[in-house]
Chains A and B, each alone.
Chain A
Amino acid sequence: MPYIPHTPDDVRAMLDAIGADSIEDLFDEIPAHLKAAGKLDALPEGLSEMEVTRLMSERAAQDAGAVSFIGAGAYQHHIPAAVWEIATRGEFYTAYTPYQAEASQGTLQVIYEFQTLMTRLTGMDVSNASVYDGASGLAEAVLMSLRANRKSKSRKVLVPTALNPRYTSATQAIVENQDVALERVGFDPASGQTPLDVLKPYEGEDFAALVISQPNYFGSLEEVDALTDWAHANKMLVIGVVNPTSLALLTPPGEWGTEGADIVVGEGQPLGVPLSSGGPYFGFMCCKQKHVRQMPGRIIGRTVDMEGKQGFTLTLQAREQHIRRSKATSNICTNQGLAMTAATIYTSLLGPDGLGNVAAHCHANTQALADKLTAINGVERAFTAPTFHEVVLTLPKPADQVLAALAEKDVLGGVSLAKDYGMANAILVNATEVHSEGDLDLFAAALKEVLA
């Protein structure tokens, strides 16, 4: 019996202690006609570990082997071996939410260190223990901004079209049942940025917040200082959506404009979490101190025990569902513990210079890739704004068709912007520190062939 230790003697002794004749007797409170016996016929027979491993190894191998330049919110990075060797230690892997603080100081201290790391990367005052992912984190940030903005009664938030469309749609799905409206603001088709011009029509209107994505979905860098000051002048909070790798190089949102962003969220995956088909990742969420009681999710505080010794514990739990029930800030009751643990180890291993070098290589490699690809006849940069580690290119042929042809050559050449932006010939490409000069040349050669 997989994972069940009981011998027939154990079972007999246990039933005797209960005073039951059979295990079936233990289900005598369930109406007989509801019982499922014989109904699980569509399930296959059980397999040994060796057999399941063989099966899944074959399946995994089917999906391997291509060189990928897809980013769009999830990025390939080198992950030091130590990161997951430690994160999957049983003591982290098989513990649960630290309800018994005395027996969970390992997890609790890791979270406190994580919170500290995130405040330092973002330049914000406080961080929570993480939420599910970047997109759902934005939904939480939008809901939080409605609670936190005391100057506004609005249930509307301004969201740039140049934000990752997957963030917009997930946020929409999560907030729409609470009568929250996302008002979309356009981008400059020449620069690929969200300029102040597109915000002018909203001047003096009541919105709870403005979302600013740095970099935005196109990889373009926004003029975050001007946008932040504009929002604050119009009594809106600023929700920053940022890439954590980029923060080693770029102005942290806590320093945007005169007052800095109010709430900051983002996808934590670039910090040591594998691509893994989209998850598990983690969303990070930071804010100014004055808004901390409106923040959803687990928060860890440093305190002392009864002997005065330093210790860590869940705090501000009066915000949470297990205490406040229907009045909680969110229904979330966990964080993405393991992924967040991995990120804490990753960030500690890289340090400020290491993370800076990773960010610099991402930027430089993407510049080099764009140069190589735009050297091909008919391939051009779509926008003029400076970029971090992604860039939009226009092709002389339909993007979907070109990407399919590249995939046949085992080159995954980015993401098409046809469906989301109606830019039929545009692709979004990314390179990071993992791409060698040879990889970039391989892409260029394949694209040249496909376009020939």
Chain B
Amino acid sequence: MSETQLIFQLSHPGRSATSQAPKALSDDKLSAIPAHLRRKEKPGLPEVSEMQVVRHYTNLSSKNFAIDKQFYPLGSCTMKYNPRGANRAAMLPGFLNRHPLAPESHSQGFLSCMFELQNFLKEVTGMKGVSLAPMAGAQGEFAGVAMIRAYHDARGDDGRTEILIPNAAHGTNPATAVMCGYKVREVPVGPDGDVDLEALKAACGPQTAGLMMTNPSTCGVFERQIEDIAKAVHEAGGLLYYDGANLNAILGKVRPGDMGFDVIHMNLHKTFATPHGGGGPGAGPVGVSERLLPYLPTPMAGQRDDGSYHWIDTDTLSTSIGHLSAFMGNAGVLLRAYFYARSLGREGMIRVGEFSTLAANYLLKRLEAVGCTAAYPDRRASHEFILTFAKEAKELGVTAMDIAKRLLDYNQHAPTTYFPLLVPECFLIEPTETESKEALDEFVDAMAAILEEARNEPDMVKEAPFTQPVRRLDDVKAARELDLAWSE
């Protein structure tokens, strides 16, 4: 595939997409703006035709892997099918054109969807209240830990300075704890993938504000001692935070609220099938138990006795941790999640956990059968599982990264690599419930072929990929000779 020029390289002075801009106005229309506040030269934006723009970005799109094109088994990312109907519904003119500050009289349709979505999320998580405000998983985490802090602060319990985090956790967990003013204490995970309970108990104390964990964990297994963990943290006076990264595994099967969690965030761009969009936008609603209800971020949708809907904001919920965005978060993502929830309904919701788990366990067994090494061979996979290529790295010099790159040549997106950090040379693989058995089998065939190649032609595998728009990139040059914006 040829190098695509930058849109700036297509630019010709004086060319424009003429039907897109309003006509030029005479400069006297701008006389109210003082000359010293005016820009001296017009900005260096591309001057191109409408068709050039359409062709350029259409061509660029073809250089992406995407769920719509390939199997995309990124672990902990839940790359399931994103229903097109959800996109169309969220782009209905009445939703698209609604200003975030439109009065409630002109917002009943939108508010009703948000109110119902809050209730659906409460039901599937077993929590007492839900706010849709956080704009991403990481912001949901922030909201969750900020609520834990607000809870302790409100009780004058200010000696709690630490958040406990299993060492297998996502990097966002410790980064979030620090943003909320806490210190991080890591808790080790044992050889079977469960938290080291004795180490956790020893770490709990009057300084413990809470524990952040994912269940099923980032090791791809269900944390079997969750009730003991909850008990240990609660007895120390701390609260339990559930990172919803892996909620897809248990949707409809077991609820975080029933496991003893006080606060959770959900990634609707994972579990509720809203698109990942090349890196966002997502949505990270938070759910809480009874004692954290006063601290939920605003605004939220409420319903009056007469059935009409209204906003709940800081003027009536003064204990709230407040607003996390200018308005109400990623409303358009929430509408897509609402569509998905209505389309699945109760039965569909239960099937998500069942079939994502079926797919993962099937894929794991098949991959083991063709010579892959499971990190936790004695455990059930949740909706995802870990393979380790430590043996291949040592004996053949072929690393997890090499195998990942070679998968691209087989038209398979690589799984998550080198995460969690505690398993060497690992893949974290999450197939999701929307992939057919044939798609899973094709991935197994590709992996079998690559392992064969690794044994026979390791140098070739180490140079992969060969079929993509570019070969392996020079990341060192990218960081040393920073080129972050084009100049002619």
Q: How far is the CB of B140 from chain A (nearest CB, A)?
A: 10
Judge whether B99 and A412 touch: CB under 8 Å: yes
The answer for the CA separation of A90 and B275 in the assembled complex, in Å, is: 9
Smallest CB-CB separation from B57: which chain A residue?
A86
Q: How far is the CB of B53 from chain A (nearest CB, A)?
A: 5
Q: How far is the CB of A5 from chain B (nearest CB, A)?
A: 4
Q: How far is the CB of A286 from chain B (nearest CB, A)?
A: 9
Q: Which of B123, B178, B314, B484 contacts A127 (CB 8 A)?
A: B484
Given A56-B92, A76-B97, is A337 in contact with B277 using a C-beta cutoff of 8 Å? yes
- Residues in B neighbouring A57, C-beta threshold 8 A: 89, 92
Q: Which of B87, B331, B474 contacts A277 (CB 8 A)?
A: B331
Smallest CB-CB separation from A286: which chain B residue?
B485
The answer for the CA separation of A387 and B124 in the assembled complex, in Å, is: 49
Interface residues on chain A, number (Cβ under 8 Å): 200
- Residues in A neighbouring B97, C-beta threshold 8 A: 64, 68, 76, 274-275
- Residues in B neighbouring A92, C-beta threshold 8 A: 61, 64, 66, 277-278
Judge whether A6 and B94 touch: CB under 8 Å: no
The answer for the CA separation of A333 and B97 in the assembled complex, in Å, is: 29
**Cβ of B408 < 8 Å from any Cβ of A?**
yes
Judge whether B322 and A247 touch: CB under 8 Å: no
Smallest CB-CB separation from A367: which chain B residue?
B32
Smallest CB-CB separation from A26: which chain B residue?
B357
The answer for the CA separation of A289 and B170 in the assembled complex, in Å, is: 30
The answer for the CA separation of A130 and B135 in the assembled complex, in Å, is: 13
Q: How far is the CB of B5 from chain A (nearest CB, A)?
A: 10
Judge whether A6 and B278 touch: CB under 8 Å: no
Segment 158-199 of B: residues with Cβ below 8 Å from A: 170-172, 174-181, 184
| Stretch from A181-189, A200-208, A315-323, A444-452 at the B interface | A315-323
- Residues in B neighbouring A382, C-beta threshold 8 A: none
Given A5-B435, A13-B437, A95-B64, is A280 in contact with B109 using a C-beta cutoff of 8 Å? no
Q: How far is the CB of A261 from chain B (nearest CB, A)?
A: 14
1/0 contact string of A280-300 vs chain B (CB within 8 Å): 101000000100100000111
Judge whether B95 and A333 touch: CB under 8 Å: no
Smallest CB-CB separation from B414: which chain A residue?
A100
- Residues in A neighbouring B365, C-beta threshold 8 A: 17-19
- Residues in B neighbouring A403, C-beta threshold 8 A: 103
Q: Which of A3, A52, A132 contacts B135 (CB 8 A)?
A: A132
| Stretch from A146-154, A169-177, A372-380 at the B interface | A169-177
Q: How far is the CB of B335 from chain A (nearest CB, A)?
A: 7
Judge whether A169 and B322 touch: CB under 8 Å: yes
- Residues in B neighbouring A387, C-beta threshold 8 A: 32
Most chain A CB within a 10 A radius of its CB, from B30, B56, B61, B253: B61
Judge whether B325 and A18 touch: CB under 8 Å: no
Judge whether B361 and A18 touch: CB under 8 Å: yes
Given A277-B327, A337-B280, is A364 in contact with B113 using a C-beta cutoff of 8 Å? no
Judge whether B324 and A136 touch: CB under 8 Å: yes
Q: How far is the CB of A55 from chain B (nearest CB, A)?
A: 7
- Residues in B neighbouring A306, C-beta threshold 8 A: 463, 471-474
- Residues in B neighbouring A127, C-beta threshold 8 A: 484-485
Judge whether A56 and B50 touch: CB under 8 Å: no
Count how many pairs of residues, one from A and one from B, have CB atoms less than 8 Å apart in the complex. Answer: 689
**Cβ of B395 < 8 Å from any Cβ of A?**
no
Given A29-B379, A52-B89, A102-B472, is A63 in contact with B33 using a C-beta cutoff of 8 Å? no
1/0 contact string of A385-429 vs chain B (CB within 8 Å): 011100000000000000110011000100100010000000000
- Residues in B neighbouring A433, C-beta threshold 8 A: 22
Judge whether B473 and A102 touch: CB under 8 Å: yes
Q: Which of B68, B146, B280 contacts A334 (CB 8 A)?
A: B280
Segment 76-110 of B: residues with Cβ below 8 Å from A: 77, 79-83, 85, 87-103, 105-110
Judge whether A17 and B332 touch: CB under 8 Å: no
**Cβ of B136 < 8 Å from any Cβ of A?**
yes
Smallest CB-CB separation from A86: which chain B residue?
B57
Q: How far is the CB of B258 from chain A (nearest CB, A)?
A: 5
The answer for the CA separation of A441 and B117 in the assembled complex, in Å, is: 39
Q: Which of A250, A267, A355 contacts B38 (CB 8 A)?
A: A250
Judge whether B171 and A96 touch: CB under 8 Å: no
Q: Which of A13, A28, A170, A336 contacts B324 (CB 8 A)?
A: A170
The answer for the CA separation of A377 and B258 in the assembled complex, in Å, is: 63
Q: Which of A45, A64, A252, A334 contacts B279 (CB 8 A)?
A: A334
Judge whether B281 and A49 touch: CB under 8 Å: no
Q: Which of B30, B79, B413 contacts A360 (CB 8 A)?
A: B30
Q: Which of A76, A95, A167, A339 contacts B326 (CB 8 A)?
A: A167
Most chain B CB within a 10 A radius of its CB, from A40, A53, A121, A178: A40
Judge whether A386 and B34 touch: CB under 8 Å: yes
- Residues in B neighbouring A91, C-beta threshold 8 A: 61-62, 64, 66, 68-69
Judge whether B326 and A303 touch: CB under 8 Å: no
**Cβ of B221 < 8 Å from any Cβ of A?**
yes
Smallest CB-CB separation from A306: which chain B residue?
B471
Judge whether A278 and B325 touch: CB under 8 Å: yes
Judge whether B95 and A102 touch: CB under 8 Å: no
Q: Which of B61, B255, B332 contacts A280 (CB 8 A)?
A: B332
Q: How far is the CB of B90 from chain A (nearest CB, A)?
A: 8
Judge whether B253 and A326 touch: CB under 8 Å: no
Judge whether A103 and B278 touch: CB under 8 Å: no
Judge whether B24 and A357 touch: CB under 8 Å: yes
Most chain A CB within a 10 A radius of its CB, from B54, B139, B347: B54
- Residues in B neighbouring A304, C-beta threshold 8 A: 473-474, 477
- Report, nearest first, the 3 A-B pairs whose CB atoms are least far apart: A278-B327, A46-B345, A90-B68
The 10 sampled A-B contact pairs (Cβ below 8 Å) are A4-B355, A26-B357, A40-B349, A53-B89, A76-B99, A80-B50, A125-B485, A136-B139, A306-B463, A328-B178
